[in-house]
Amino acid sequence: MSQTLPGGFEKDVVGYCDPLSARAGERIAFKLSSYAPGSAHVSVVQLVSGDDRPHGTGLIERELETDTDAGVELIEQPLVTGSYAHVENMPAAVTGDLSVWVYPTLVGELPQTILNMAGVSLWISVAGLGVATPAVELSLQAEIRECRWYHLRLAFGTSTEFSVHRLNAGVAETDGHWQVASDQGFALPAGDWYMAARCPGQQHFNGRLEAPTLTSEGSTVACWDFSQQMASRHIIDSAGTHDGVLHQTPTRGVTGVHWDGSEQSHVSAPAHYAAIHFHEDDLTDAEWQTSLTWQIPVDTPSGQYALKVEQGVSQDYVPFFVRPARGERTADLLYLVPTASYLAYANQRLGFVGGIFGEPTLRHANDAFLYAHEDVGYSLYEYHRDHSGVHFSSRLRPILNLKPKTGTWAFNADTHITAWLDAIDAPFDVLTDEDLHVEGAEALQGYKTVITGTHPEYYSTGMRDALADWLGRGGRLMYMGGNGFYWRIAYDPENPAIIEVRRAEDGTRAWIANPGEYYQQFNGEYGGLWRRLGKPPNELVGIGFAAQGFDGGTYYRVQPGALDPRVNFVVDGIDGADTWGDFGNQGRGAAGEEIDRFDESLGSPAHAVILASSENHKPGMLRVKEEFHMTEPLGNDAKVRADMVFFEVPGGGAVFSTGSISYAGSLAHNGYDNEIAKLTGNVLTRFLDPEPFDFPA
Ligand SMILES: [Fe+2]
């Protein structure tokens, strides 16, 4: 049945694809679902611009002639959230002893399953703990506090003994101990075990588990040591052969009961990190059936595309990226699509909360769908229901803001760049962050210029190294945004559809990583801001994050550097103006939202030319918090500015950086006839010219 969405919007159909980028000649699978099952019309479009706001660049799509059947039958596919572990084929145990450490983070009236042992479940609720078998129900009234460690022990057989011991949180608390015994006994049947859920989708547990251990007839049957293979989805039975598998990516590399603060890394002290944190709302793979696949014809030009699904008034676009066929390069320009940042912001709901992000308004059907569906999972900007920060994001689920006809942030804002490239007839190949991470600098080989999106904020070590490596060998980089190269991330080594962030130490953060949990589980690296990891964005692109504000943009004032003969090629045709970019569809100014500053103390190259600097920002444009030792009122903060810079790199290469997320929103002004479009086009033309840049003496 059709769903009713708030605001009177209608949208029943939604989908995602796998992979997100494929080469011409390869196949791509689309996973679609509708709340009104039935037939739908599908087509493949080249997606040039997705900004359908009245003052935006308009929706520009070009339908492809394809061999796909124009019709598809849609079913309703479920969204089942909640992480858990699954262990197959556990043996029966007639008598024995079960123990586990439990750290609840969100207990309620309803029971949450800690362990389901082939039908015998161990649960927790505000009332205490319990064991339920088909024949026996035993509850243990205990005072359950959130964020404390409890050691549970259950002896079973001809009778039952159930006890729990709570560890205090410091000298001011006392330990707690509760126990209960019963003449009624039970045995554990053979079968599958689940941890942190009764079964997928039922009675999920919020919190941490550590060292579940089963002994029977005096010997250890299984003891799961979660400190082993922490980067993987496998849980290891250190006593036997009963390894299990984790689903929906619970968090590992988190402090366990033995963490005493003497160690900060799960790499150096795994025994301190032998816990796994499960959430009832984790979702990293919706596991939907494939609705249709498309073999991308080998002659399909590299670019940005979408499957367009239409079902009555309901509509969905599923964007994807087509790379050239293997070994081919079909343009000198490469658009490096910041898909890691798309995942970081995937399904972010910041627009609904008001505050610095403006009035909470549902502006379109995709917003309304997202508002109504917590079950599509979170962005890296949100909290789980138990108030722990969301560490993972994945593209294997519907992402309502990785689409056209949504707010102009991340993906849809980046279509201002693809629309401009289309308007000036500049051919380009595409490469996604994920491709760059997996393939490294090799993937950039042969391109004369790489152009970024408006907000390439999230970078893995592999991505950053690849870009720096390519640049050092004569590459030319056009950094078209702000707040770029800011957070370190890690990709899941077993599935690059999933990324991880640890919001460590400081930074402009949606949440704060827990003490002792600054190291990434996927690769053991220390997480956080690249600025704090010895590789500030300034070293790569000349500028770094300075300020953010969402109450409107401003212009750049032309600086003396613009007269430097080294940048004559940039200002050609626009010389004489005092300001640039006092217009645009992103807050009416080219400098806004998130802006970056030239700063030699942070590694900006001393020989860089500052062409222009923004000024006269709105009151909401405030300096990034990582630059404050304590909060203090600031008047006219000279460090709140976007610097537009150019510099040469040894080897004949060069970098041009705009330093503002709003910049791309000014390209289309006056039919792409304005100084921002002109100077950006000048840069592109020169950057595509093989003539090396001379490194200044
Ligand atoms: Fe950002």
User: Is pLDDT at 656 greater than 90 in this prediction?
Assistant: yes
Q: Nearest CA to 356 among 595, 621, 642, 631?
A: 621
How far, CA to CA in Å, does 523 sit from each of 243, 244, 260? 21, 21, 23
Residue 362: pLDDT band by 50, 70, 90 thresholds? confident
Give the Å distance between the CA of 509 and the centre of ligand 1: 9
Q: Which residues are bridge partners to 130 per DSSP?
A: 123, 139
Distance 637 CA to ligand 1 centre (A): 20
pLDDT tens across 217-262, in order? Answer: 999 999 999 999 999 999 999 999 999 999 999 999 999 999 999 9
Residue 36 has what DSSP assignment?
Answer: S
How many angstroms does the Cα of residue 43 sit away from the middle of ligand 1? 33
Nearest residue to 518 via CA among 507, 209, 625, 344: 507
Q: Which residues surround ligand 1, an ion (CB under 5 A)?
A: 457, 483
**Chain segment 577-625, per-residue pLDDT in tens:** 999 999 999 999 999 999 999 999 999 999 999 999 999 999 999 999 9
Is 80 exceeded by the pLDDT of residue 352? no
Q: How many A from CA of 596 to the centre of ligand 1?
A: 11
What span, in angstroms and rounded, lies between the C-alpha atoms of 420 and 417? 5
Q: What does pLDDT average to over the chain?
A: 96
The contacts of residue 531 (CB under 8 Å, 6+ apart) are 486, 507, 537, 544, 545, 602, 626
- Smallest CA-to-CA distance from 642 within 593, 684, 571 is with 593
Q: Tell me the average pLDDT across 170-176.
A: 89
On whether the CB atoms of residues 581 and 663 are closer than 8 A, the answer is yes
pLDDT of 112-142, one tens digit each?
A: 999 999 999 999 999 999 999 998 899 999 9
Centre of ligand 1 from the C-alpha of residue 318, in Å: 23
- Gap between the Cα atoms of 531 and 536, Å rounded: 4
Characterise 189 by phi-psi region: left (phi > 0), alpha (psi -120 to 50), beta (else): beta
What pLDDT, on a 0 to 100 scale, did the predictor assign at position 170? 84
- Tell me which residue of 691, 53, 30 sits closest to 407, measured CA to CA: 53
pLDDT at residue 68, rounded to an integer = 67
Question: How far is the centre of ligand 1, averaged over its atoms, from the C-alpha of 457 (Å)?
Answer: 6
Nearest Cα residue to 406 out of 360, 369, 359, 435: 369
Distance from the alpha carbon of residue 367 to the mean position of ligand 1, in angstroms: 20
Distance of CA 455 from the midpoint of ligand 1 (Å)? 7
**What are the C-alpha distances in Å from 324 to residues 497, 565, 657?**
21, 37, 27
Distance 599 CA to ligand 1 centre (A): 19
pLDDT of residue 298: 94
pTM for the structure as a whole = 0.97
> Are the C-beta atoms of 420 and 240 separated by less than 8 Å?
no
- What residue spans of 512-649 are helical by DSSP H? 537-541, 568-571
Per-residue b/e over 547-582, b at no fewer than 16 CB within 10 Å?
A: bbbbebbbbbbbbebbebebbebbbeebeebebbbb
Spacing, Cα 90 to ligand 1 middle (Å): 47
State yes or no: pLDDT of 360 exceeds 80: no
Distance CA 246, CA 560 (A): 58
Contact 124, 144 (CB under 8 A): yes
CA 280 to CA 289: how far, in whole Å? 22
Stronger pLDDT, 297 or 636, i.e. the higher one = 297
Bond prior to 19 in cis (omega within 30° of 0): yes
- Per cent of the chain over pLDDT 90 is 92
> In the structure encoding, which two tokens stand for residue 11, read together?
């949208």
Given this model, what pLDDT does residue 357 score?
67
Q: Which residues contact 233 (CB under 8 A, 6 or more apart)?
A: 245, 246, 247, 249, 494
- pLDDT tens digits for range 73-122: 999 999 999 999 999 999 999 999 999 999 999 999 999 999 999 999 99
Q: 465-500: per-residue pLDDT in tens?
A: 999 999 999 999 999 999 999 999 999 999 999 999
DSSP string, 540-553: HHS-EEEEEEEEEE
